[in-house]
Amino acid sequence: MHVIGVVGWVLVSLLVGCGPGQRQATESASDQPRQSRTLAVAHRYEPPSLAPKVAAANGPLTTTRLFNAALALYDNQGAPRPYLAQELPQLNADTWRLFPDGRMETTYRLRDGLTWQDGAPLTAEDFAFALRVYKDPDLGTFIRAPQGAIESLLAADSGTVVIQWRSLHADAGILSFGDLDALPAHLLEPAFADYKQGQSSRDTFLARSFWTSEYVGAGPYRLERWEPGVQLAGAAFDGHALGRAKIDRLLVRIAIDENATLAAVLAGGQFDYTRPFALRFDHLLVLKREWEPAGKGTALAVPSRAAHLTLQQRPELVGDEALLDLRVRRAIAHTLDREALNEGLFNGIGFPTETSVPPTVSFYPDLERMMTRYSLDPTRAGQLMTEAGFTRDAEGFFTNVQGRRFRLDFAVQTSTELERMQAILSDAWRRSGFEVQPAIMGVKVWTEPQTGSTVPGLKYTLAPAENSYIAAEMASAANGWAGQNVTGWTHPEYERLWDAASVTLDHAQRGRYVAEMMALASNNLPGYPLYYTMQVSTWVAALQGPDDTRQSPGFGLVAKATTNYWNVHEWTFR
């Protein structure tokens, strides 16, 4: 397996990303007037709600971001920028104060004149109200961090948000989407009061049309119409904090069928921009050959978050209890053929990986030195299975002392690329003696919150973050399956490192803690990183503004990725 570095990462991005439309997309659009046009974009996944704080599968923030604004966003270098805030809190200044007892306080001053998309003022009280909603223990539908670390939130005045923290919190000065998003108190507070007073139920509050078809946010586009399963239509919001979007109208079309999306791009007239996952890597080759040379636009693929297989580790949910045995998990790792995946999925130019951390983050060299690696070695896998008490039956499959075959459940969502990945790995595992039980799920079932936590064996996902293996994030029926820990795996040393990283304000030291955490995961195998996904996107030649080749993939909480559509308000048509 080849070693991946920053240079190789960039070279592949250039190799598959350059084309005749690339230069047009990088020109400045800041001085362009507003345009009476419609921006039509293709997204594969439809969000269950437009509120970024609602926990859901498959990265719906891609869509929700278009209708929302946060205190901060991350630009194409992965650097935080103030958004609703005038400026971000700075450590050792009045805006970020540390106290002798270990607590701290951050102050965000909002931009002047902020409004919601219905014209009502957006004030500090909306953040205070949102915190009360997010901290309610019985709602159980919101991303759980960082509100547990917040002691209180004060609206010093209508434009000043003062957050008091129970302890040191590294990201307290860069709260972005999914952290502490404001909620419009003028629309939701009466309904929330009814719920708290027992006059209505939790389900009634969460089923309000505000969360979906009548959503009101503060992002670059205001929702006008939502046709479930078809599209979301929006109009540029005049009061957007960073300025009115230059393209007047927006259509987010739900494009589940990748082949139909490719046909639509080739035919023209339906999509101005396609987001990653709407197309797959083999489509890029078609577009490079037939579409881009004709000057119709830019097609590119860039390495991004790692494809990962989570592994069920809860005794009450696991399909075969032998998966709880580390020797068995290591045996599976020794028969995981990443190079076969690279050839079968990416014609040999992809990026196989044994870690979900990308090589572009600062602590990657530390992780490389510490992580456990598993060579492709079926002989060693057989030895480990023997140590775990398994023998082979007449057909060569591993069986336990009762004569029952070991079974490896393996679920992916319906997708040509993912089904191919499943077939390649399943074939290799069967040849090595593991009986595989594959399952392919439709998008609707796949995106249900409980699916990620209840699959009995392996499940495809994108790279877990550093909080994906802590007990506090354990997803369960009790919390609406909203936690980030979908495997059920925890470890005392991992918890210790997480606690240390959470209260470390020095970014370099925090990165070293995360490197140790990821190395510990590589040794204990609550899942298997496979390869860095090659995310394909396209935009037509007339569209200026997308900068997908330069965006930062980030990793988890310690190295945030570029905010989806971070500069969409500046996009224009030539």
Continuous segment of H or E residues that includes residue 424: helix 416-431
Identify the residue whose tokens are 């860039």: 302
- Give me the phi and psi of 320, to 5 degrees please: -125, 120
Containing H/E element for 514? helix 507-524
Dihedral of alpha carbons 208, 213, 218, 224, sign: negative
Our separate counts of H helices and E strands in the chain read: 17, 21
Q: How many residues does the chain have?
A: 574
Q: CA 526 to CA 318: how far, in whole Å?
A: 12
Within a 10 A sphere around the Cβ of 417, how many other Cβ atoms?
22
Neighbour count for residue 361 (Cβ, 10 Å): 22
Structure tokens at 269: 């007239």
Give the separation between CA 211 and CA 541, rounded to whole angstroms. Answer: 35
Q: Which residues of the chain have pLDDT under 70?
A: 1-33, 57-60
Identify the three-state secondary structure at position 68. coil
Q: Domain 69-209 maps to which CATH number in 3.20.20.70, 3.90.76.10, 2.70.98.10, 3.40.190.10?
A: 3.90.76.10
pLDDT at 548: 81
What DSSP assignment string belongs to 478-491? Answer: GGTT--SB-S----
Q: Helices in 239-377 by DSSP H: which ranges?
A: 258-267, 281-290, 326-333, 338-346, 364-370
Contact 99, 172 (CB under 8 A): no
256/260 Cα distance (integer angstroms): 8
Residue 192's nearest CA partner among 107, 237, 133 is 133
Per DSSP, the three-state class of 330 is helix
DSSP state of 460: E
Neighbours of 128 (CB within 10 A): 19
Query: How many Å separate Cα 421 from the centre of its chain?
Result: 20
> For the CA atoms of the chain, what is the radius of gyration?
24
Please count the CA atoms within 13 angstroms of the CA of 285 that sit on its side-chain side. 6
**Residue among 480, 459, 422 at smallest CA distance from 319:** 459
C-alpha dihedral, 470 to 476 to 480 to 486, nearest 10°:
50
Residue corresponding to tokens 């009476």: 36
CATH code reported for the domain at 305-532: 3.10.105.10
Residue 22 near residue 298 (C-beta atoms within 8 A): yes
DSSP code of 105? E
- DSSP-assigned letters across all residues of 517-571: HHHHHHHH-SEEEEEEEEEEEEEETTEE---GGG----BTTTBPPPPTTTTGGG-
H helical segments located in 41-184: 61-64, 124-135
Omega into 492 within 30° of 0, i.e. cis? no
- Render 385-411 in DSSP notation, one character per residue: HHHTT-EE-TTS-EE-TTSPBPEEEEE
What pLDDT is recorded for position 59? 52
Contact (Cβ atoms closer than 8 angstroms) between residue 91 and residue 170: no
pLDDT at 60 (0 to 100) = 55
What is the spatial distance between Cα 305 and Cα 277, in angstroms, rounded to a whole number? 12
Q: Is 188 helix (H, G, I), strand (E, B) or coil?
A: helix
Identify the residue whose tokens are 């992809």: 350
Say what the pLDDT of residue 550 is.
76
Domain residue limits, the chain: 69-209, 305-532
Long-range contacts of 269-272 (CB under 8 A, 24+ apart): 270/40, 271/40, 271/41, 271/42, 271/538, 271/540, 272/39, 272/40, 272/41, 272/539, 272/540, 272/542, 272/543, 272/573
Report the distance separating Cα 70 and Cα 61, nearest Å: 12
Q: How far apart are CA 303 and CA 405, in angstroms?
A: 38
Spatial contact of 361 and 557, defined as CB atoms under 8 Å apart: no
pLDDT of residue 483: 84
- 44-62, pLDDT tens digit by residue? 989 989 999 998 744 557 8
| CB burial string 7-41: b at 16+ within 10 A, e below | eebbebbeebbebebbebbeeebeebeebeeebbb
pLDDT of residue 215: 98
Six-digit token pair at 495? 């918890």
> Within the chain, what is the greatest distance between any pair of CA atoms?
76
Helix (H) or strand (E) holding 445: helix 443-446
